Amino acid sequence: MTAKRERRGEKPRSLDLHGVSMDRVHARLEQFLHMARQDGQRQIEIITGRGWGNSSGTPVLRGHVEKWLDTNKDRFGVVQKEKTSGGGAILVTLKGR
């Protein structure tokens, strides 16, 4: 999506991690963020779910993704992240080129 589309209020490109095993999450995030930066995306959405579907009922995946984003923020130009969809997704703002 271009910056022009973002200004028109269109939904940002998203990555849905529902059902992705924890050992594949890093690779999926890396690939998605690399493509987003290459395409000039300014905002993306990472859907993690709220965590109610696992046996403990806690949002394990979201915390894992947030920590990964914090660790890799300089590498992928993460400027800001905020929870959306009642905590089931993370809206990520990326640096412009």
| Average pLDDT value for the chain | 85
Whether pLDDT at 5 is above 60: no
Band (pLDDT 50/70/90 cuts) for residue 63 is confident
Number of domains in the chain: 1
Produce one character per residue of 59-85: b if its CB has 16 or more CB atoms within 10 Å, e if not: bebbebbbebbeeebeebbbeebeeee
Record the tokens describing residue 24, joined without a space.
């594949």
For residue 72, give its domain range. 3-94
The CA-atom distances, in angstroms, between 66 and each of 5, 27, 53, 55 are: 26, 15, 19, 21
Band (pLDDT 50/70/90 cuts) for residue 89 is very high
CATH number, domain with residue 81: 3.30.1370.110
Whether pLDDT at 7 is above 70: no
pTM: 0.81
User: Could you give the angle at which helices 22-38 and 60-71 cross, rounded to 10 degrees?
Assistant: 50
85 vs 65, more confident: 65
Condensed to tens digits (0 to 9), the pLDDT of residues 14-45 reads: 999 988 888 899 999 999 999 999 999 999 99
Q: Which residue has the tokens 């589309």?
A: 5
